Chain A
Amino acid sequence: MDFLANIVLGFERAASWDALMFCFIGVTVGTFVGVLPGVGALAAVALCLPFTFYLDPTVALIMLAGIFYGAQYGSSTASILLNVPGTVTAAVTCLDGYPMARQGKAGLALFVTTITSFVGGSIAIILMMLFTPVIAAFALRFSSAEYFMIMLLGLVIASTISPGSHLKSLAMVTVGLGIGLVGTDLNTGTMRFTFDRLELTEGVSLVAVAMGLFGVAEILQSLGSQRPQPIETQKITFRSMMPSRQEWRAIVWPTLRGTAIGAAIGALPGSGATVATFMSYAVEKRVAKDPSRFGHGAIEGIAAPEASNNAAVQAAFVPTLSLGIPGDALMAFLLGAMLIHGIVPGPHFITDEPVIFWGLVASFWIGNIMLLVLNIPLIGIWVRLLSIPYSILFPAMLFFIGIGVYSVHNQVFDVYAVIVFGVIGYLMNRYGYPAAPLLLGFILGPLMEEHFKRALLMSRGQFSIFWERPISAAIFAITLLLLALSIYGILRQARKQPAIETTGA
């Protein structure tokens, strides 16, 4: 059995002491940033990337991925106790989690979100183990035309699925593509948009862009607005966490439905965990016998979204690892990190680097079990963490950003870049221009250009290659359909109400 042999291979790698240690560090850092509002998972992964350069690529990847899914566990804590989501994906959990806490059921809510996270994550890992190799095998038939089309589709989905103006999202994708062009053109050696700066010949630093848009901008945003007061930490006993038999029964189906939705949406290119959580909450509300309970502490209202976001996060690895095409900004960043480590995800990745792939998958299991331990018996530590005042937290974050960005290339220039992207990111937030599509465009841009050129080289300059190959044509058709729907929506809205309110502020 090839499959079993691979799993054994993976566990051998993931159970070695260095992998275990960095997996633990990863999920702990993940829980940490997940718990703290105002520190996003992406900023945390970006912060830790420079320190993984000296590690074995497999171990580095295990750690970075651990931060990513660990954050999903922690993020519900602040939602439940403070009514402030720890990360965007936990916004939905506030709706019923906070009312539960006010009814004195904080312990129960924390337990339920952890256990449903575990179930959602675990099921999605199994799906991932089954499907990633299959998709990769299928994708071996893909040529550059298909790759270009899938990436284009991913960018279009990413910008048309988000709330707010689709035009603004699409514009941010193109700005991202533009920033991705900076540097030396690989084919001709032409310096593009480098402004004669030596530091830009290899392109704009990925870490600087990510930390500016998702780190510095976030801090500016928080300082400029009212922030929640640290809470009096409540004592959470193990007994108060345990659901009754009736409560156990109430969460089974919502958890499974949430997992299904999360896994399906997470695996699509261009859509991530945030969409999945909102959708599964909406579904629960619809199937519930008494929808009016939602928003007042319905236990299904936290079970389904939490299962969903963890499933989505794990499933998001499927397109990234099998096709080399990330679903959302965070996976795009991980893809960038892999490229820096010399790992090229794609259809050949699983067969060429079985140890990395299966080791990573095995580490997901180990990491999820660690998270279960971190989040149930040790929940008290994380709750106390919420009493750290932001006024001390943010200078520490700025310091980590500064030193982190600098240490990537030992380049002061990158610190200036982070300032610029921070201010730009703040303004973008303010005016309803989303940052995630920009990062996605920035990372996918160079890959798209390469595949586009290769496709047209293959066809001797005939555009028809994009619709003569059946798979490419199908993806192209879906892309056009989405764009058409989006334009139709804009036109209809414009006719209905001449003024569209801005989504910013």
Chain B
Amino acid sequence: MNSHAGSRKRLNIWELGIAGALFLLGAYMLWQGIGYSVGNLRQMGAGFFPVVVGAALMLLAFGIMLEIRHSDGAPPELPLRPLLGITAGLVLFAVTVVPLGLIPATFLLVLLSMGGDRGTSWKKALITALVLAAFGYLLFGLVFRLSVHAFWW
């Protein structure tokens, strides 16, 4: 990373944004904490700790903003494809594991997440998905006796 003299003056929006989100999270905890009743030191309410933690987080987030405001971090190159593949795979697993059963859910999870990996052929993904689904059921359904069905029937 070579820092140009000019870029030092620029604000780092991404870093600031994240610190800002932390600040808001702290503010939310503080505000909610007050709602839970703070109480006093002799008789602390449920809100006491949330208020303290929230305030500390706001303070720290503010400190981070000061610390990083001119840092030259690049905007994030989010790995969109893996992110989508893995998220979609896990969401689908969550949605299908109860109504459809473990084997279809595993199959979908593996297929979608492997789709998130560049350079994986669909044939390889298909085979891996089938093998893992079968193996998964053997291990968890039959060996560990988890209370999950193999299929929907």
Contacts and interface: CB of A to CB of B under 8 A. Distances in A.
Contact of B120 (A174, A391, A419, A456): A391
B152 interface: no
A220 B83 contact: yes
A416 interface: yes
Interface in A446-505: 449, 452-453, 456-457, 460-463, 490, 494, 498-502, 504-505
B114 interface: yes
Q: What is the interface of chain B mostly: helix, strand, loop, or mixed? A: helix
A38 to B, nearest CB: 13
Nearest to B118: A223
A167 B18 CA distance: 13
B44 interface: yes
A170 to B, nearest CB: 5
Contact of B146 (A168, A171, A407): A407
A395 B110 contact: yes
A467 B49 CA distance: 20
A190 B90 contact: no
Nearest to B102: A403
Nearest to B110: A395
Contacts of B100: none
Contacts of A396: 110, 132
A460 B42 contact: yes
A62 B64 CA distance: 41
Contacts of B34: none
A395 B50 contact: no
B106 A399 contact: yes
Nearest to B147: A410
A392 B67 CA distance: 41
Interface residues of B, number: 77
A171 B89 CA distance: 31
A175 B120 CA distance: 37
A435 to B, nearest CB: 14
Interface string B20-32: 0010011001001
Interface string A422-456: 11001100110100000000000000010011001
Interface string B90-109: 11011101100010011001
A148 to B, nearest CB: 12
Contact of B3 (A394, A426, A499): A499
B147 A398 contact: no
Given A178-B53, A456-B42, A499 B36 contact: no
A188 interface: yes
B97 to A, nearest CB: 6
Interface in B64-121: 64, 67-68, 70-74, 76-79, 82-83, 86-87, 89-91, 93-95, 97-98, 102, 105-106, 109-110, 113-114, 116-117, 119-120
A227 to B, nearest CB: 10
A406 interface: yes
B71 A399 contact: no
Contacts of A170: 60
A456 B44 contact: yes
A177 interface: yes
Nearest to A433: B18
B49 A398 contact: no
Contacts of B8: 498-499
Contact of A490 (B67, B98, B102): B67
Interface of B: 1, 3, 8, 12, 14-15, 18, 22, 25-26, 29, 32, 36-37, 40-50, 53-54, 56-57, 60-61, 63-64, 67-68, 70-74, 76-79, 82-83, 86-87, 89-91, 93-95, 97-98, 102, 105-106, 109-110, 113-114, 116-117, 119-120, 124, 128-129, 132, 136, 140, 144, 146-148
